[in-house]
A and B are shown apart, each in its own frame.
Chain A
Amino acid sequence: MRTNSAVTTSHLRRHLGTLAVLAGALALGSLPLLFAPGVSATDASPDGELVTMTVADLLALMQQEAAGATRALPEGEIKILKAVVMKAEGSSQWKKGRDEGSWKNSVVDDTLDPGALIRTGRESLLALRVGQNASILVDRNTRMELPQVVQTGSTLSTTVSLSRGRADFKIDEVGLTNDFSVVTPSATLAVRGTGYVVAYGGLEGTRTFLARRDLLHAVEIRYFTTRFRYLLEARSKSSDTYQDPAVFALFDTVGPPPLSGTLIADDATLSLLADSFLREAIAPDPFIRNPLFDLRRIDVADQNHLDLESRGQFR
């Protein structure tokens, strides 16, 4: 499929720092499309609001950029990495260091430098993307510190100090060597690439068990999908059977709607889909009637619900 696509860049530029931190998440495998607009915006539109390029070019650029983000550094060079807040539920705070700054309420997109202290309250949850290779879910009543988040040569070194509470860690393989360790008052745990939970409390000391990888994955996907806005312009052409690139992208991404369950039982949804397919079939160029498609949010985390907020063909 070759399609011209236009991507808004004003919003994306604000997140370029975040993108650099998070590019390693490409190794997750499930997020490639989400990085594409950011990459194209960086390279092709230093001053304009829109970038036009083929999807194939976009993907190639994205892969190139992602590979570059996780490249080994020259000998002796050190790169200080950051952490970014992906989700903040309940009450949680962070501050720059033990002796600097004051406690600040956590909000999504906050970036934390190495040395930052984190604390969560009761019934709270804080999700962080740390450096290029790790995601952390900080659970309730936790006190944590990030003393080290750094890349040295081909090694990503991260140290997390857990004073009390509980946190889920997921460390991804991004093509570099992972040196990830969690320090509690009674133990030090090191890991190369996996996921686990570390809990430390007064009753039983340090405990480890399986991480909630699905929850972490869902948080990552939700975070990335709400970062970007995709616009497909009227001049777009496709060599695919489905001339409408939005429909193609939708079905290519989330697949057709389920044949059973809540969606099919909904008459309104059925007629909506039937109507859209009919228009697709008879219209020589659907963009004549729908010049702008705005797929604002496709919740790919849960395919069964097909949570879609779109304009145009699916209105």
Chain B
Amino acid sequence: MSSRIAAIALLSLMPLGCAISRTISTDSAADSHAKKSAEYDFWDAVAERSTVTNDDALQGLLLVAGDPAASDYTARLQRARERGWVSSSAELPKNESAEVGTIARATCEILDIRGGLTMRITGLTGRYCTRELIHLGILPPRTANQSMSGLEFVDLVGRIEDRKREREDLP
């Protein structure tokens, strides 16, 4: 009986363990390619990474949003908080893999996507922004806690641009 309880306890803790461990890279592409003049190299470096870090994600999204290039991660995070991409209480380690939910939240803000009833009530949350982007066909099926590879992130940035262009082309 006690072994059965122990097994159940272990099984219930396993998802928790999976959820809290995220990939941490040694550095970010934004470290060496933060300047506006190095934008090509920044995107090339990001595209080759197996996971996109919080630093790279914020740098890329700020570039797409047309925000002035921030000099370091602290400034980028501050700007992201001002725009509502990251809640003020959230800790985002610089080289930790970015969550799809965080990226989706920023994407919804950039594209001014209001979503459905739930999203309008809850505001921009990672979970519902992700679902909304999946619904709109901007993201393939994902969950808010997943990571993104660099190539996927660059692809998403292209789709954000396409969406922006479509909106501008509308009469």
User: Which A residues between 77 and 126 are near B, CB-CB below 8 angstroms?
Assistant: 93, 103, 119, 121-123
Decide yes or no: A201 and B151 within 8 Å by CB, A122-B63, A123-B161, A141-B157 being known contacts: yes
Interface of chain A, helix or strand or loop or mixed? loop
Q: How many angstroms between the C-alpha atoms of A56 and B157 in the bound complex? A: 53
Chain B residue with the shortest CB-CB distance to A166: B158
Q: Would A122 and B151 count as touching, CB distance under 8 A?
A: no
Give, as a whole number of angstroms, the nearest-CB distance from B93 to chain A: 23
**What total of A-B pairs shows CB separation below 8 Å?**
53
Alpha-carbon gap, A123 to B163, bound state (A): 12
The answer to whether B43 touches A141, judged by C-beta atoms less than 8 angstroms apart, is yes
Residue of B44, B64, B152 near A203 (CB, 8 A) is B152
Give A196 to B6 CA distance when docked, in angstroms.
59
CA distance A93 to B37 in the complex (A): 13
Least CB separation from B164: chain A residue: A123
Tell me the complex Cα distance, A204–B150, Å.
Answer: 14
- Specify which chain A residues have a CB less than 8 angstroms from the CB of B161 in the assembled complex: 122-123, 140-141
Measured between C-beta atoms, what is the minimum distance from A116 to chain B in Å? Answer: 16
**Which of A121, A166, A204 has the most C-beta atoms of chain B within 10 angstroms of its own C-beta?**
A204
CB-CB under 8 A from B64, the residues of chain A are 122
Is A165's beta carbon under 8 Å from chain B?
yes
| A202 x B155 contact (CB < 8 A) | yes
Nearest CB of chain A from residue B39's CB, rounded to whole Å: 6
- In this complex, how many residues of chain A approach chain B with their Cβ under 8 Å: the count is 17
Given contacts A164-B47, A164-B151, contact A201 B158 (CB under 8 A): yes
Instruction: Please indicate which of the listed interface residues B43, B139, B140, B150 has the most CB atoms of chain A within 10 Å of its own CB.
Output: B43
Q: B145 an interface residue at 8 Å Cβ cutoff? A: no
Which residue, A140, A166, A203, has most C-beta atoms of chain B within 10 A? A203
Is A143 interfacial (CB 8 A cutoff)?
yes
| Chain A residues with CB under 8 A of B152 | 201-203
- Which residues on B sit within 8 Å (CB–CB) of A122? 39, 63-64, 157, 161
Interface of B is mostly: helix
Which residues of B143-169 have CB atoms within 8 Å of chain A's CB atoms? Answer: 148-159, 161-162, 165
Taking CB atoms, residues of chain B closer than 8 Å to A121 are 39-40, 43
Most buried by B among A143, A165, A201: A201
Asked, given contacts A141-B154, A201-B154, A202-B149, whether A119 binds B140 with beta carbons under 8 Å apart, the answer is no
CB distance from B101 to the nearest CB of A (A): 16
Q: Which residues of A contact B158 (CB under 8 A)?
A: 139-141, 165-166, 201
| Chain B proximity of A295: nearest CB distance (Å) | 32
Chain B 58-86 near chain A by CB (<8 Å), digits 1 or 0: 00000110000000000000000000000
Q: Are A202 and B43 in contact (CB under 8 A)?
A: no
Q: Which residues of A contact B154 (CB under 8 A)?
A: 141, 164, 201-202
Give the shortest distance, in Å, between A257 (CB) and chain B (any CB). Answer: 25
Q: Across the interface, name the chain A residue whose C-beta is closest to B152.
A: A202
Within 8 A of B (CB), among A38-64: none
In the bound complex, residues from chain B placing their C-beta under 8 Å from that of A140 are 158, 161-162
Q: Which residues from chain B sit less than 8 Å from chain A, CB to CB?
A: 39-40, 43-44, 47, 63-64, 139-140, 148-159, 161-162, 165
**Which residues of chain A have a CB within 8 Å of any CB of chain B?**
93, 103, 119, 121-123, 139-141, 143, 164-166, 201-204
Cross-chain pairs A/B with CB under 8 angstroms, 18 sampled = A119-B44, A121-B39, A122-B63, A122-B161, A140-B161, A141-B158, A143-B44, A164-B47, A164-B151, A164-B154, A165-B158, A201-B158, A202-B47, A202-B148, A202-B149, A202-B150, A202-B155, A204-B155
Other than the given A119-B40, A164-B155, A202-B153, 8 more pairs (CB < 8 A) read A141-B157, A143-B47, A164-B151, A201-B152, A201-B155, A202-B154, A202-B155, A203-B152
